[in-house]
Amino acid sequence: MGVVSLKDILLISFFLFASLANSLPLSTNGRWVVDSMTGKRVKLQCINWASHMQSMVVEGLDKKPLPEIVDSMSSLGFNCVRLTYATYMFTRLDYGTRTVDHSFTSLNLTEARDGIAKNNPSLLNLTVVEAYHKVVDELGAKGIMVVLDNHISRPNWCCSENDGNGFFGDEYFDAEEWLEGLTIVARRFKYYPQVVAMSMRNELRGPRQAQPDWFRWVGRGGRRIHFVNPKLLVIVSGLSYDTDLSFLPRNLSVNLGNKLVYEGHWYAFSSGRRKAWVNGPLDKVCATTMKEFDDRIYFVTKGKNPVPLFASDFGVDQRGLNQGDNMFISCFLAYAAERDLDWALWALQGSYYIRENKTDFEETYGVLDKNWDQPRNPKFRERYRLVE
């Protein structure tokens, strides 16, 4: 193979971005996400990339330069990123004004801080909000669409029933502050064409969850985003960790025009079935699970007022060591391909700066290995080509 010149690289980057720009903004037409100008289908083939943890900085910047990480997404076949964030980063000055350096120093993440100084030195003295913008800039420059996902309020690992971030009114989940955060983020990224959607909240859950509160606050959140930035798709999650939309009428009672998308999550352990995937019989477990997914989530794509469905959070142990995960993913990929779903896999990151009090925590569900050098599963593209 010949040497690729800088001119060649610039030309490739130009055409990637030109291709992206010609597909934006996005809208909906029935159950499909489409190019607003041409009406042609635009399929979201996304990867989740975490930026909602204690540092409030996207994972991996201690391992590789930002451009290399973004390049790896394209080489793996992803055309978009579900980029997570924590509400407090945008609503509370004592969070958002921390520099990257200060954020890592305050968490005693010395090795990770030194890794960022080596691989991404220009980011070290930026605030965490400025660094987040730089990530979005780099994604846009490389032709990657961005879905901004409000993953949590107080920066931390997600999700549990009692983490204080589960539902409106929880300890760290003030509904009015959440609305303020959505407003700030929608306004901040209004003129970023690569930002095509906002997901209002990840995995609503816990003992407080109630349908009347869901309708009240989700309705207000959707209207707020649409008013501030009407070009964006507004992605709406249900209850019980995004596994249940069955309480809905066939459309949300919010005037979002052709910008409404629903999302659903599913894993081998959803509905308490992790052991079932191992014990089998597989055909019965798969059929039962996908029937439940149809009834609780996929039904929104049908009927008189169909709406697109974004399977925005699913995944497995990429090492292939978990038998239940292996059985589940074969079933789910076939289902997603048959129904031609838009999707986002969990997750890109091979490691976290810190997770659950452990530094350099390895993410076995991560597509990249712990050193962020290569796919954790060498057959990744082959296995996931079915849904591309």
End-to-end CA distance of the chain: 27
* Model pLDDT for residues 277-305, shown as the tens digit of each residue: 999 899 999 999 999 999 999 999 998 88
Does residue 374 form part of some domain? yes
Kindly indicate the confidence band of residue 324, based on its pLDDT and cuts at 50, 70 and 90.
Answer: very high
Q: What is the mean pLDDT of residues 83-109?
A: 98
Backbone angles phi, psi at 192, to 5 degrees: -105, 100
18 CB neighbour count, 10 Å cutoff: 10
219, pLDDT greater than 90: yes
Does residue 14 form part of some domain? no
Q: Where are the alpha helices (DSSP H) in 161-210?
A: 175-188
* Model pLDDT for residues 109-143, shown as the tens digit of each residue: 999 999 999 999 999 999 999 999 999 999 999 99
Q: What is the mean pLDDT of residues 161-166?
A: 95
**Are the beta carbons of 245 and 238 closer than 8 angstroms?**
yes
The tokens for 339 are: 């129904």
Does residue 9 form part of some domain? no
* pLDDT of 18: 42
Per the structure, the count of domains in the chain is 1
Distances (CA, A) of 54 to 100, 109, 254, 333, 347: 11, 11, 34, 32, 18
Nearest to 24 by CA among 10, 45, 38: 38
CA dihedral 147, 148, 154, 157 (to 10 degrees): 20
d(CA 79, CA 134): 18
* pLDDT of 99: 98
Does residue 7 form part of some domain? no
Interhelix angle 66-75/128-141, nearest 10 degrees: 40
**Are the beta carbons of 353 and 347 closer than 8 angstroms?**
no
Q: In which domain, by residue range, is 239 found?
A: 23-385
Distances (CA, A) of 298 to 274, 301, 315, 323: 21, 6, 18, 26
Which CATH number do you get for residue 120?
3.20.20.80
* pLDDT of 252: 53
Does residue 16 form part of some domain? no
Higher pLDDT, 61 or 388: 61
Does residue 236 form part of some domain? yes
The tokens for 230 are: 């009407």
Does residue 15 form part of some domain? no
Does residue 10 form part of some domain? no
